[in-house]
Amino acid sequence: MSNRVNIFLQHTCGYTREGLKSLLLELSEEFPINIVAEDKQLQSNVSQLMLKPGVDFFILGLQSDGNNASEILSFIIKTVPSSFPDAKVIIMTQLNSMGGLKDYILGLNNVYAIIDNGSTLKEMRNHLIGVLNFSVDLSPRTFKLLVAPLTHRELSVLGFLLKGKSPDEVAHKLCINYKTVSSHKQSALHKLGIRSLNGLLTSGNNRELMYQLLHHRV
Determine the pLDDT at residue 142. 35
Residues 84 and 189 in one domain: no
Residues 137 and 30 in one domain: yes
- Whole-model pTM over 0.85: no
Sequential pLDDT tens for the chain (218 residues): 446 788 999 998 888 888 888 888 888 877 788 888 888 887 656 666 666 668 889 999 988 877 888 888 888 888 888 888 888 899 888 877 777 777 788 778 888 888 888 777 777 887 787 777 643 333 443 334 344 567 778 888 888 888 888 999 999 999 999 899 999 998 888 777 677 777 666 554 455 566 566 656 66
Determine the pLDDT at residue 181. 94
Determine the pLDDT at residue 199. 64
Determine the pLDDT at residue 210. 62
Query: Three-state secondary structure along the chain?
Result: CCCCEEEEEECCCHHHHHHHHHHHHHHCCCCCEEEEEEECCCHHHHHHHCCCCCCCEEEEECCCCCCCHHHHHHHHHHHHHHHCCCCEEEEEECHHHCCCHHHHHHCCCCEEEEEECCCCHHHHHHHHHHHHCCCCCCCHHHHHHHCCCCCHHHHHHHHHHHCCCCHHHHHHHHCCCHHHHHHHHHHHHHHHCCCCCHHHHCCHHHHHHHHHHHCCCC
CATH number reported for the structural domain that contains residue 193 in this entry: 1.10.10
Residues 142 and 203 in one domain: no
CATH number reported for the structural domain that contains residue 18 in this entry: 3.40.50.2300
- Give how far Cα 112 sits from Cα of 102, 141, 155, Å: 12, 8, 22
Residues 9 and 83 in one domain: yes
Residues 135 and 177 in one domain: no
Determine the pLDDT at residue 167. 92
Residues 47 and 65 in one domain: yes
Question: How far is residue 175's CA from residue 3's CA, in Å, rounded to a whole number?
Answer: 49
Domain range enclosing 200 = 152-214
Determine the pLDDT at residue 152. 79
Residues 160 and 104 in one domain: no
Residues 57 and 118 in one domain: yes
Residues 43 and 128 in one domain: yes
Determine the pLDDT at residue 83. 85
Report how many domains make up the chain: 2
Tens-place pLDDT, residues 158-216: 888 888 889 999 999 999 998 999 999 988 887 776 777 776 665 544 555 665 666 56
Domain boundary among 146, 172, 201: 146
Residues 68 and 123 in one domain: yes
Determine the pLDDT at residue 138. 37
Domain boundary among 146, 165, 183: 146
Residues 73 and 125 in one domain: yes
Residues 127 and 189 in one domain: no
